[in-house]
Structure 1
Amino acid sequence: MYDAILVPTDGSEGVDRTLDHAIEMARNHGATVHALYVVDRRFELAADEDREELIAQLTDRGEDAVAAVAERAGEAGLDVVTDVREGVPYKTILGYADEAGIDVIAMGTHGRTGRDRLAHLGSVTDRVVENATVPVFVVNIGDAD
């Protein structure tokens, strides 16, 4: 049923909780884990002289983030594909899912409630859930960070 599972990562500790579930799903289905980090296009707001350095720093952070996912999934004996892309996070995640033939997206969300939840409407996870053409498995990572 699931041959390819996408785990978008931001490199935070909360991704570990999501990855626990994604690894279990991948084991159960013999699936490949895809780790994706999106360098958010907000870097375009940086001053021209700072932009290249900022992009390089964010790309390095992304490489570390997908490597951490790959290491955990590899230790579990799973096949892994990693990618770091620039773009609008939710659009890039959805585009990658379509391109790579992803069967399910596993991602975390912070455990926001009340006023804090309202302040974060439009989060990446919310937008992926609203627009995905494949199932999205959402793990409440609460205050893991």
Structure 2
Amino acid sequence: MDEPRDFDDILVPTDGSKAARNGAEQAIKFARRNDATLHVLYAMDMGDADYVAVPSDIAQTRGRLEKKGQKFVSEIDDLATDAGVDCVTTVRANTPVEAILEYVDDHDIDLVVMGKRGRSDPDKPLIGSITNRVVGSLDIPVFTA
């Protein structure tokens, strides 16, 4: 039988959805049990801003997305802090899947914990497209909540 795996760095992506919060609550439990650092990531998908022709509009859109992302990661940071878990928050401009994969590589993440589906997939029966792509792209454990 394999030895239990130690998790030193745990990533929880968030989009502010209920599923993401469920993932965050589970990630906090894992982090507490492993005395791990929790990394919270929000991806600002700027693809929706491509239709905007005026650069100042793109800057405003980016500012709104960044503010929204900071709110979402701060909510999870507060939960982690209340649970006595060290937490690092990040807001990145990229698609969610690419942001998650890059973050895992950049920060030597041991475990990803995420909701089964997020804001864009609220009616899907099992797991959403982003979660499915992350699970299929990583060689580390991905726990879905």
Cα distance in 2 for partners of 1:75, 1:39 equals 26
SS at the partner of 1:2?
coil
TM-score, normalisation: structure 1: 0.85
Superposed CA offset, 1:28-56 (max 9, x none):
11011000000013134231222221111
1:107 CA displacement: 0.4
**Which of 73, 83, 86 matches 2:80?**
73
Does structure 2 retain, via aligned residues, the 8 Å contact 1:4–1:34? yes
User: 1:131 is matched with which residue?
Assistant: 137
Q: Contact conserved, 2:112 with 2:141, CA < 8 A, in 1?
A: yes
Instruction: State the one-letter code of the partner of 2:17.
Output: S
- Once the 2 structures are TM-superposed, how far is the Cα of residue 79 of structure 1 from its aligned partner? 0.4
**1:113 maps to amino acid:** P
Partner of 1:6: 11
Unaligned runs of 5+ in 1: 140-145
Match of 1:45 among 45, 50, 55: 50
Match of 1:61 among 39, 59, 68: 68
Q: Counterpart of 1:105?
A: 112
RMSD of aligned C-alpha atoms? 1.7
Tell me which protein shows more strand as a share of its residues: 1
Identity %: 36
**Which blocks of at least 5 consecutive residues in structure 2 are unaligned?**
1-5, 118-122
Contact 1:94 1:128 in 2 (8 A): yes
